[in-house]
Amino acid sequence: MFLNDLYTVLSLNSTAETISAEIRIDESHPVFAGHFPGSPITPGVVQLQIVKEVLEIHLRRKLGMKTMRSCKFLQVINPIETPVITIAIKFEDKEQFLEVIASANHSGNVYLKAQMSYFTL
């Protein structure tokens, strides 16, 4: 949905249960024209979609959200001030679903923390 449009993946490193993806957000994307002109903020729903897409890239399968246990947006992501963000994901692949803990951060600043479950579509 947003990959190679709103953001690009600069690097992606993974282990059996973790993913670390450095992404660059395109400040000129149309989503920022309305959110908000002159002071762009990456919408929370977009941040969650990016986490899901990074997970889908790694797992090579489409996912749907089952539940969200917690989600905290700790700071705004302004793509002009902070165009590069690291998405860190820890996941456990269970039989019916995927348990995920994710965060978005840069230079010691944490922007997003979330815990959710996904199922394969």
Please report, for the domain that includes residue 93, its CATH number: 3.10.129.10
> Domain tally for the chain?
1
SS3 label, residue 11: strand
- Residue range 52-107, pLDDT digits in tens: 999 999 999 999 999 999 999 999 999 999 999 999 999 998 889 999 999 999 99
Q: What is the pLDDT of residue 24?
A: 97
Strand order in the sheet with 98-106: 7-14, 18-25, 84-93, 98-106, 109-120, 63-73
**Domain presence at residue 1:** no
Predicted confidence at residue 4, as pLDDT, reads 86
What residue numbers bound the domain in which 74 lies? 7-120
φ/ψ of residue 55, rounded to 5: -65, -45
Residue 2 lies in a domain: no
* 36: pLDDT strictly greater than 90: no
pTM (predicted TM-score): 0.94
Mean pLDDT of the chain: 95
CA atoms within 13 A on the CB side of 109: 13
- CA gap 91, 41 in Å, rounded: 27
Q: Which of 15-29, 34-48, 95-109 has the lowest mean pLDDT?
A: 34-48
| Contact (Cβ atoms closer than 8 angstroms) between residue 89 and residue 16 | no
